[in-house]
Amino acid sequence: MDPNAYAQQQQEYYQQGPPDPRYAQSVASFGSNNSGPSSSAASFHSAGTHVTSPQAPSIAPSSVQQQEEPEFELGGRPGMGRGDSAAVLRTAKTKAVDLRAQPFTKQYIDDYRQRIKADPDPEAHFAYARYLIDAAKKIGGDAKDQRAVRKYRDALIQESLKTIRRLATQGQPYDEAQFFLANCHGTGMLGLQVDHEKAYHLYLQAAKQNHAAATYRVAVCNEIGAGTRKDHARASAFYRKAASLGDTPAMYKLGMILLQGSLGEARNPREAVGWLRRAAEQADEEYPHALHELASLHENPSGQIVPYDPIQARELYTRAAYLGYTQSQYKLGQCYEYGALGCPVDPRRSIAWYTKAAEKGNSEAELALSGWYLTGSEGVLKQSDSEAYLWARRAANKGLSKAEYAVGYYAEVGIGIKQDVEFAKRWYMRAAAQGNKRAMNRLTEMKRQGNKRANIARPTRQQAEKECVIA
């Protein structure tokens, strides 16, 4: 994965709150001062034209479901740290879920409040605070008195915050409460004002108790300068500490730092691969990145860092793809389209994997679907000019220069849209501004031709790929 792209993703993690399911669902509907990313799937207005959303092909990768998943074993058991503590956290989560399964009624909340007073366990109090957040979302009331219902829900949120603050700051501070409260300050959850300095301080306090995820957040804050000044040496040190504590994204990040020689660290491919492998051992739907990175290393014919092994690369990509990683899903779409990495040429599987990635917003996959719709695939996908255009437009609106060129080409030729040379020029100019040579050449040719309409034949799939219309 592109280190710059991952750095951006880290910043988004910080700004939007943790992707940690223990908290995300509990706080999602309350008082965030930061709006999440809006979907681009509904309609498009770039370049002055409204465009309907494209339709995803109704092809699920049923032919590549779990029975096709390769055996995968990187070897070795993850060391103590997040890999093992995750089981403890899952146990704690299970307890919280059991509690939240109880009725969300005022009577039950009152009884729970009385029971918890006699319990000295901070984990139990933290579970109670999280329960209150859920209760505030779900509790019913008199439909005729919504003002009273809202007031009661607000009171539950305030009680929850009071409990979490107490756990985070008084007596022996509870690291999970510190981490949760830091997330609230960092993202404006539960109605709090965004305060990156408070968030950083709380992350740091939790990190002092060896809270792995908080240690990782301290590293991110030092790298991007959120709540503290930028300090790459300090960031690198905290990434290493978090990785040693077993934090999966920290292992991946440290591996990338050592692979690239960034943040002031000397390049060390051997150690980098070790950390990537450890991260891959713990890969899940939230953190599949290391699987993809290891796959790309094994795909490199030079074999300078790891042995060249296309079959291993395919297996790693497949593992990441099943975990929902869109870059790996797109890669498998390519493999089945062109017969790479030991995959057979299989349009159905190719389209299925491209669809998986495109439905999650992967612009490369969206453009690839445009290519499949341009020509269709007998018995698999019906040819559709309109869908070819719409998928290319969807990718182009995200700034993919190849897609911008494709939209210009479609407009110039009249594929899926009324032929419009001026509209085509605007998209060629967008692509050219990003250094797309095909677009530059096309603009030069259009200028040379003047007002004469170009006689461009509709491309075959092979011609389209060669001319970089869809590839």
Query: Pairing relation of β-strands 43-44 and 51-52?
Result: antiparallel
Q: State the Cα–Cα distance between residues 410 and 393, nearest whole angstrom.
A: 10
Q: What share of the chain is helix, strand, coil (3-state, %, to 5)?
A: 65, 0, 35
Domain that holds residue 419: 364-471
Note whether residue 387 is domain-resident: yes
pLDDT number for residue 312: 98
pLDDT number for residue 138: 86
> Is 348:376 a contact under the CB 8 Å cutoff?
no
Note whether residue 347 is domain-resident: no
pLDDT number for residue 338: 97
Q: State the Cα–Cα distance between residues 392 and 386, nearest whole angstrom.
A: 10
Note whether residue 462 is domain-resident: yes
Q: State the Cα–Cα distance between residues 406 and 277, nearest whole angstrom.
A: 38
Number of compact structural domains in the chain: 1
> Is 419:411 a contact under the CB 8 Å cutoff?
yes
> Which of left, alpha, beta for 102 (phi over 0: left; psi -120 to 50: alpha)?
beta
> Is 282:89 a contact under the CB 8 Å cutoff?
no
The CATH number assigned to the domain holding 410 equals 1.25.40.10
Say what the pTM is: 0.77
Note whether residue 311 is domain-resident: no
Residue with tokens 């280190």: 3
Closest CA to 332 of 10, 348, 157, 222: 348
Q: State the Cα–Cα distance between residues 140 and 133, nearest whole angstrom.
A: 14
Q: State the Cα–Cα distance between residues 369 and 364, nearest whole angstrom.
A: 9
Q: State the Cα–Cα distance between residues 30 and 46, nearest whole angstrom.
A: 32
Note whether residue 460 is domain-resident: yes
pLDDT tens string, the chain, 471 residues long: the values are: 444 444 454 455 444 333 333 233 333 333 333 333 233 323 323 344 445 666 667 654 443 433 343 333 332 222 223 333 332 233 333 344 444 456 788 899 999 999 999 999 999 999 999 999 999 988 876 667 788 889 999 999 999 999 999 999 999 999 999 999 999 999 999 999 999 999 999 999 999 999 999 999 999 999 999 999 999 999 999 999 999 999 999 999 999 999 999 999 999 999 999 999 999 999 999 999 999 999 999 999 999 999 999 999 999 999 999 999 999 999 999 999 999 999 999 999 999 999 999 999 999 999 999 999 999 999 999 999 999 999 999 999 999 999 999 999 999 999 999 999 999 999 999 999 999 999 999 999 999 987 666 666 666 666 655 555 665
Token readout for 8 is: 């951006």
Using the CB atoms, write b or e for 243-272: b if 16+ within 10 Å.
Answer: bbbbbbbbbbbbbbbbbeebbebeeebebb
Rounded CA Rg of the chain: 26
Q: Count other C-beta atoms under 10 Å from residue 34's C-beta.
A: 12
